[in-house]
Chains A and B, each alone.
Chain A
Amino acid sequence: MSAYLVLSAALFAIGTYGVLARRNLIIVLMSLELMLNGVNIALVVFTLGHSAGVAEGAALPHGHVFVLVVMAVAAAEVAVGLAIVISLFRTRRTVDLNDLQSLNG
């Protein structure tokens, strides 16, 4: 089981790299999806681990509900994020994060 947890940690770390080291807004959003997926895998592993030793048929996958909620939030976040990207590109003609500093004060 620990191999799956290490995999989820690896995906989270790769996603963090993408969020921090890239300046293209679309790729930053994709990296955010990678991070959420790493967390999802960890949640599914924990669900399975806590079901061990419970009588056959009595174990309920409560963690899977959490994963479904995370997926729904990810979908909503991507929809709003990409809409913001579109309206930013329409007004500013750029997707470069370093060009978007008007809230910088």
Chain B
Amino acid sequence: MDPLFTLTAAISVGAAMMTVTRRNPVYSAVWLLVCFLAFAVIFLKLSAPFLAAIHVLVYTGAILVLFLFVIMLLNLQPDEIAEEYSTKAKLGVAAMCVVLFGFLAIPLGTDPAWSGPLPEVGAEFGSVAHVGRLLFKDYALVFELVSVLIIVAMFGAMVLAKKRLRYRIPHRRQLDDLPPPNILADHPYVPNPGPIDRRPEPRPDDEEGAM
């Protein structure tokens, strides 16, 4: 078998396993970076140079940076990183995934239609000119729809991550303290109560106002 493929496949599978098993999301993100770079090499092996370039640009350049940016923004403390399931439950899920791998890999790996070596295609195959011609002639409508999707996602992300919406749906705990909503009012929502109080909640046995 091709040594370059064996090396890249081993790196990508190993890095993917490290990604899903690290406890700290920062380590996961860095292993994901290794994995994505290995994927780019695999795309080059599969005569898809344009896809390899786009993969590096989009995944490592945009998506991974977004992940790292959000991790930085959340600034999770060690006790805020989610607790994980028990080892027994994880082993159960792992066994199920091995079965899933078998279901996928055995038919694909033994199908005679895909058993040969990689076919020879011209050097033009998968180049920017080649893919670009398809994208803007045969699939022009798809291209436009994707751009609409990305614009909608951009607005959605901006609205969702906005710090202060003018009106916010109250939390259930706040709802219990509120008078019943005036259904004739223009806005049934309560106004934004302002920035969240990040101090720990006082315990019930504390005196009112005591620190």
A residues sitting closer than 8 Å to B (CB atoms) are: 1-7, 9-18, 20-27, 29-31, 33-34, 37, 40-42, 44-45, 47-49, 51-53, 56-57, 59-62, 64-65, 67-69, 71-80, 82-87, 89-91, 93-99, 102
Supposing A16-B97, A64-B126, A79-B154 touch, asked if A5 and B84 sit within 8 A by C-beta, the answer is no
Interface of B is mostly: helix
Quick check: which of B127-135, B177-185, B202-210 contacts chain A, the rest being far away?
B127-135
Supposing A69-B142, A91-B171 touch, asked if A52 and B108 sit within 8 A by C-beta, the answer is no
Residues B32 and A33 in contact, CB atoms below 8 Å apart: yes
Option from A14, A74, A83 in Cβ contact (under 8 Å) with B63: A74
Residues A75 and B19 in contact, CB atoms below 8 Å apart: no
Residues B80 and A94 in contact, CB atoms below 8 Å apart: yes
Residues A45 and B153 in contact, CB atoms below 8 Å apart: no
Q: Told that A17-B94, A62-B134, A78-B66 touch, could you supply 6 new A-B pairs with CB distance under 8 A?
A: A5-B109, A14-B20, A26-B74, A33-B32, A57-B122, A69-B146
Residues A18 and B19 in contact, CB atoms below 8 Å apart: yes
A99–B82 alpha-carbon span in the complex (Å): 9
Q: How far is the CB of A91 from chain B (nearest CB, A)?
A: 7
Q: Give the residue among B85, B98, B126, B149 with the most A Cβ atoms within 10 A.
A: B126
Residue on A nearest B126 in the bound complex, by CB: A61
Residues A72 and B146 in contact, CB atoms below 8 Å apart: yes
A29–B16 alpha-carbon span in the complex (Å): 13
Residues A4 and B125 in contact, CB atoms below 8 Å apart: no
Q: Give the residue among A10, A62, A84 with the most B Cβ atoms within 10 A.
A: A10
Option from A14, A69, A86 in Cβ contact (under 8 Å) with B160: A86
Taking CB atoms, residues of chain B closer than 8 Å to A9 are 101, 104-105, 108-109
Residue on B nearest A29 in the bound complex, by CB: B67
Residues A13 and B19 in contact, CB atoms below 8 Å apart: no
Taking CB atoms, residues of chain B closer than 8 Å to A87 are 160-161
Residue on A nearest B23 in the bound complex, by CB: A24
B190 contacts A by Cβ under 8 Å: no
Option from A12, A73, A84, A95 in Cβ contact (under 8 Å) with B76: A95
Residues A51 and B125 in contact, CB atoms below 8 Å apart: yes
